[in-house]
């Protein structure tokens, strides 16, 4: 109607580096007309240029997709190839891979909780401003991240784009004694993660819930890292090899990233909150207690509480890393091998931000003939838009600065790889 | 500890390699310098315990590729949009400003910025940036030599 006030919120530039995008929200008469999370980062064509490369190059190539979760890309890739070629994994290698993942979760979650998301809840524009009043908390976050980095460096040779993982295992594995050197750091990190959960318990969370379909891996005995079936809160329960029969990727005209949906049902959520809700009973007691301490109960449908789920997962990752260090026995050989043949393999693992699916087809010479990679941020995109659509409706009467701030916070609930940019949004208000 | 020189960047992103190239020039001369990706937390760790630090990084293209800018972290706040951001936006600028907020900046911290022309994947450095790399490396070589001089009144033993 002509008398209704129309407002358009445009966030035009999300910074470069790991993700480039923008946010567009159109309001009319207090109602949300349209929401678009535009990811205009140029496509990097990984799936295309992997074709023709030998599978042994894969772990080092896909690690380059992400600077903060290269371990996840390496793990999904090696598991897919190992599945294709029927390569058995030694229990010692399996434990080391869990430890590798623990390191990545700790560093990624610590960065997001302390540097990117906590300032939203405490009313600061960024971590630098927050550090003036919360120095000890920030120091704890930095040291936690360092503890995670140390594991990745220990196993992977360097903290970003590690180089040790290979199909069948690792190029080199540590001795049991060497691994024990990480224990002091991790004992401290476990206490610090518990302190993180208690710190978050004091935050105020917006009252906002949605009827999500949560999706994650599920393993009968473990909180998932590398293995499990793909399950959802609405009854999906499939082998990873059936993933593409249940999930679809769609192109939208305003984004260079594909949107994933569950066929016939629509958008869904992956990530810490989904994992927590679907695997709560497989968390160790210390992590369940941490959840209780920060007021997080499964099922939790408030996405703003994902910061608490990350804190609980840090507790889990530290506890799990210590378990691995206690139980580790070096494998007889760093890696297993198998005859090369034409084959196809799929795998999904749990990146810090959620389920990461890979599929590769190999020719008889071991060269990759096709590749498919579905990252967690792509899977969450539609869900983020849906959250914004409902969330903005409830705050549409507020000043545009406040709406923008809240939208950014809501986007950061998902820790997308474009979250770097959401701290530097430029906003224009049109209409009136 | 003597002057610590840290070069930041990504060797696979065109002129973003500028800081790394400066470090490699110095190392080729037998001088100590370290490479960093520019990830903020690692950066703070790498200068921890050092009194005097020089950071070298590429700055965002602004029409004058190869231009060298020098900031004294104790005298000014780093500009928001000049330095490239690292993973999740926690890079050089954020590390410096976070350290400032926490009162843990090194005693002296100078940032040498080399303005980039491009950050293209797998591209070589632009000519202007190559020249600036040489210039900054030479400046730092002299600075290191000076920092290795014994204080006045002391006799050098080697």
* Sequence-distant (≥ 6) Cβ neighbours of residue A267 within 8 angstroms: A213, A259, A261, A382, A383, A385, A386
**CB-count exposure of residue A145 (10 Å: 0-12, 13-18, 19+):** buried
Mean pLDDT check: name the lowest of A23-32, A238-247, B34-43. Answer: A23-32
Residue A139 touches partner B, C-beta closer than 8 Å: yes
Alpha-carbon distance of A14 to A377, in angstroms, equals 15
What's residue B85's pLDDT?
57
Which of the residues B13, B41, B81, B123 would you substitute to probe the A interface, choosing the one with the greatest number of A C-beta atoms within 10 Å?
B41
Which of the residues A61, A68, A126, A128 would you substitute to probe the B interface, choosing the one with the greatest number of B C-beta atoms within 10 Å?
A128
As a whole number, mean pLDDT of residues A192-207 equals 96
Indicate yes or no: CB of A420 within 8 angstroms of CB of B84.
Answer: no
What's residue A429's pLDDT?
35
The string of pLDDT tens digits covering residues A357-371 is 999 999 999 999 999
What's residue A405's pLDDT?
83
pLDDT tops 90 at residue A316: yes
Angle in degrees, CA A224, A227, A233, rounded to 5: 55
For residues A341 and A412, the model is more confident at: A341
As a whole number, mean pLDDT of residues A40-69 equals 86
Number of A to B CB contacts under 8 A, please give it: 75
Task: Mark A362-389 as b/e (b = at least 16 C-beta within 10 Å).
Answer: bbeebbbeebbbbbbbbbbbbbbbbbbe
ipTM over 0.85: no
Which of the residues B35, B37, B89, B93 would you substitute to probe the A interface, choosing the one with the greatest number of A C-beta atoms within 10 Å?
B89
Indicate yes or no: CB of B101 within 8 angstroms of CB of A421.
Answer: no
CB of B77 within 8 A of CB of B111? no
Residue A117 touches partner B, C-beta closer than 8 Å: no
As a whole number, mean pLDDT of residues A393-414 equals 86
Tell me how close the Cα of B1 comes to any Cα of chain A, in angstroms.
Answer: 22
pLDDT tops 70 at residue A15: no
CB of A373 within 8 A of CB of A65? yes
Q: Model pTM?
A: 0.90
Computed from CA positions of residues B112, B115, B119, B120, in that sequence, does the dihedral angle turn out positive or negative?
A: negative
Tell me how close the Cα of B98 comes to any Cα of chain A, in angstroms.
Answer: 5
Q: Phi first, then psi: what are they for A311, rounded to 5°?
A: -65, -40
Indicate yes or no: CB of A68 within 8 angstroms of CB of B88.
Answer: yes
* Sequence-distant (≥ 6) Cβ neighbours of residue B32 within 8 angstroms: B2, B4, B5, B26
As a whole number, mean pLDDT of residues A301-310 equals 98
pLDDT tops 80 at residue A421: no
As a whole number, mean pLDDT of residues A182-204 equals 97
CB of A78 within 8 A of CB of A90? no
The string of pLDDT tens digits covering residues A208-234 is 999 999 999 999 999 999 999 999 999
Angle in degrees, CA B113, B116, B118, rounded to 5: 155
State which residue of chain A sits closest to B91, comparing Cα positions.
A420
Indicate yes or no: CB of A138 within 8 angstroms of CB of B98.
Answer: yes
Residue A142 touches partner B, C-beta closer than 8 Å: yes
Which of the residues A43, A46, A115, A132 would you substitute to probe the B interface, choosing the one with the greatest number of B C-beta atoms within 10 Å?
A115
Tokens matching residue A177: 């004694």
The string of pLDDT tens digits covering residues A94-111 is 999 999 999 999 999 999
What's residue A14's pLDDT?
34
What's residue B79's pLDDT?
84
What's residue A420's pLDDT?
28
pLDDT tops 50 at residue A16: no
What's residue A307's pLDDT?
97
Tell me how close the Cα of A10 comes to any Cα of chain B, in angstroms.
Answer: 20
Mean pLDDT check: name the lowest of A294-298, A384-388, A394-398. Answer: A394-398
Residue A143 touches partner B, C-beta closer than 8 Å: no
Indicate yes or no: CB of B84 within 8 angstroms of CB of A112.
Answer: no
Indicate yes or no: CB of A419 within 8 angstroms of CB of B45.
Answer: no
């Amino acid at each position: 109607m002509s008398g209704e006030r129309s407002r358009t919120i445009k966030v035009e530039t999300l910074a470069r580096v790991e993700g480039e995008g923008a946010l567009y929200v159109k309001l009319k008469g207090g109602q949300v007309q349209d929401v678009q999370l535009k990811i205009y980062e140029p496509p990097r064509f990984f799936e295309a240029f992997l074709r023709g490369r030998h599978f042994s190059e894969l772990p080092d190539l896909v690690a380059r997709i992400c600077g903060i979760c290269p371990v996840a890309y390496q793990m999904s890739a090696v598991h897919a190839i190992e599945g294709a070629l029927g390569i058995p994994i030694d229990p010692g290698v399996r434990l080391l891979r869990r430890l590798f993942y623990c390191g990545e979760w700790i560093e990624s979650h610590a960065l997001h909780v302390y540097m990117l998301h906590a300032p939203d809840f405490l009313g600061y524009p960024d971590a630098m401003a927050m550090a003036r009043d919360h120095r000890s908390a920030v120091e704890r976050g930095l040291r936690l991240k360092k503890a995670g980095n140390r594991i990745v460096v220990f196993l992977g040779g360097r903290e970003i784009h590690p180089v040790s993982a290979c199909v069948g295992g690792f190029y080199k594995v540590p001795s049991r004694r060497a691994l024990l050197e990480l224990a002091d750091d991790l004992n401290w990190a476990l206490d610090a993660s518990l302190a993180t959960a208690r710190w978050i318990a004091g935050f105020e969370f917006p009252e906002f819930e949605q009827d999500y379909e949560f999706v994650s891996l599920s393993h009968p005995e473990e909180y998932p890292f590398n293995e499990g079936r793909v399950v959802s809160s609405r009854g999906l329960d499939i082998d990873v090899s059936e993933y593409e029969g249940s999930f679809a990727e769609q192109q939208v005209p305003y984004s260079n990233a594909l949107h994933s949906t569950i066929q016939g049902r629509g958008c869904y959520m992956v990530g810490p909150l989904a994992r927590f809700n679907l695997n709560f009973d497989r968390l160790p007691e210390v992590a369940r207690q941490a959840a209780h301490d920060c007021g997080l109960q499964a099922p939790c449908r408030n996405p703003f509480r994902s910061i608490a789920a990350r804190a609980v997962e840090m507790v889990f990752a530290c506890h799990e890393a210590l378990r691995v260090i206690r139980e580790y026995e070096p494998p007889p050989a760093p890696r297993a091998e198998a005859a090369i043949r034409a084959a196809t393999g799929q795998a999904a693992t749990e990146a810090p931000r959620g389920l990461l699916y890979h599929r590769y087809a190999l020719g008889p010479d071991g060269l990759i003939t096709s590749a498919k990679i579905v990252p967690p941020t792509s899977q969450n995109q539609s869900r983020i838009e849906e959250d914004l659509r409902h969330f903005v409706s409830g705050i549409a009467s507020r000043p545009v600065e406040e709406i923008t701030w809240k939208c950014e916070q809501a986007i950061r609930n998902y820790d997308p790889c474009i979250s770097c940019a959401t701290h530097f949004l430029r906003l224009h208000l049109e209409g009136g | 500890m003597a002057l610590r020189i840290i070069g930041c960047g990504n060797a696979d992103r065109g002129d973003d390699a500028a800081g790394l190239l400066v470090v490699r020039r110095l190392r080729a001369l037998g001088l100590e310098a370290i490479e960093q990706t520019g990830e903020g937390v690692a950066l703070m760790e790498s200068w921890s315990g050092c009194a005097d630090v020089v950071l070298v990084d590429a700055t965002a293209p602004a029409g004058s590729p190869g231009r060298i800018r020098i900031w004294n972290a104790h005298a000014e706040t780093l500009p928001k949009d000049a330095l490239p951001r690292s993973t999740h936006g926690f890079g050089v600028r954020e590390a410096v400003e976070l350290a400032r907020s926490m009162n843990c900046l090194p005693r002296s911290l100078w940032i040498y910025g080399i303005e980039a022309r491009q950050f293209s994947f797998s591209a070589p450095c632009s000519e202007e940036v190559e020249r600036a790399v040489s210039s900054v490396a030479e400046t730092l070589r002299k600075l290191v030599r000076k920092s290795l001089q014994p204080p006045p009144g002391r006799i050098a033993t080697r």
